[in-house]
Chains A and B, each alone.
Chain A
């Protein structure tokens, strides 16, 4: 059963400055995290129900909680996927989209099915040993609206390996 009330209540508790500033004991911090995590589940169900209702099509939606650390199974493992970008601002926004991907070449098409220039760039080795590449493409999104881009992975290895100039120096 979908329900947004637990998340609303958890967020209300997290309005307290202790939730973000470090001015709480560790067991209280753990409880903040627990309340948030517990509330998240039924809210995801609510979102899935709403999306199914709007699209008149029931399917399994998944929610990625790791995109902020550049982990995304959909973009990293799929050969073809779509990216819908919603702009909450009241004016058109041009934004560079970055998505973690596996090594390779990608074709990106805009909502009008026109090709969009894209690059696959290497991320710093210190970021992670499990992901190394990010797909980059410019997106244009209308005011208070959305744009859907499609991404297709081409076979073969990445031919757009960027020029990498390394200047290692010995520590003083």
Chain B
């Protein structure tokens, strides 16, 4: 088939088997359908230019160009289907892969990404993002949480309390994402929950991106005096993005409960031996 599908009674996710990328998410309960392309890209870190000598570094995010480069134009994919879980394993490159997972009875998609060690032998510092592209008309707006509490409306090249002279078209529109970021067209909402604080933005209508890893070769001159560069082979990072598609009306109830479950996740304890019925006494 030209497409691959994983689905349960609530969600259907469709993949283009030609590219291996996610191409559509459907909420079967609410009869919502949204074309979504998700893939990984990287910004080439600035080492300073004519406008400013400021390099991208530990403190400063400053890409050299507005447009990020794709990690790959396709992903090698494998499909795993069992009664409890359906997974699409995507291999984008030797240093970037992802498992898209849908559990039985679950109302969200789980994207478990693994990025690194980021190669820098080409002498280019790289800041890697996961980007979701949709045809949603979002009017240059997106929403991020503030410290896991208040949701803030963010607008392209805009600050609510002063007239902004935007000098950094990418970094100037990045905001902290502590637990969630979302875009909406007023009818439906695409929410991505993170398992850690990350930077995120929406640089085009219907687009949403989160920075997942970075490795840089130049110090940004802000006091560390070392580039953000792990020694030896470099770090490999694994994390999860939980993706919810729902109507705007009930989106908040869904992402709020899911974020609670993510931040205060159940704790596991294992013990050797057979069954041991628990008695409260």
- A164 near B274 with CB under 8 A, answer no
- Chain B interfacial residues counted at CB < 8 A: 52
Residues in chain B near residue A121, CB distance under 8 A:
80, 82, 85, 87
Residues in chain B near residue A85, CB distance under 8 A:
266-269
- Among B97, B264, B266, contact of A124 (Cβ-Cβ < 8 Å): B97
- B79 near A138 with CB under 8 A, answer no
- A117 near B114 with CB under 8 A, answer no
Knowing A163-B80, A166-B78 touch, does A82 contact B224 (C-beta < 8 A)?
Answer: no
Q: Interface size bucket, A side?
A: 35 or more
Contact mask B207-227 → A, CB, 8 Å, 1/0? 000000000000000111110
Knowing A22-B58, A119-B84, A167-B20 touch, does A80 contact B266 (C-beta < 8 A)?
Answer: no
- B266 near A148 with CB under 8 A, answer no
- B268 near A82 with CB under 8 A, answer no
Judged by a CB distance under 8 angstroms, whether B103 is at the interface is yes
For B220, the closest partner residue in chain A by CB is A23
Residues in chain A near residue B265, CB distance under 8 A:
95
Q: Give the Cβ gap from A112 to chain B, nearest Cβ, in Å.
A: 9
21 contacts between A and B (CB under 8 A): A22-B228, A72-B270, A80-B272, A82-B271, A85-B267, A85-B269, A87-B266, A89-B261, A95-B261, A96-B85, A97-B268, A118-B84, A119-B82, A121-B85, A124-B91, A124-B99, A136-B84, A136-B85, A167-B78, A169-B76, A171-B74
Chain A interfacial positions (CB closer than 8 Å to B) = 21-26, 64, 67, 69, 72, 74-75, 78, 80-89, 93-97, 99, 109, 111, 113, 117-119, 121-122, 124, 126-127, 136-139, 141, 148, 150, 152, 160, 162-169, 171-172
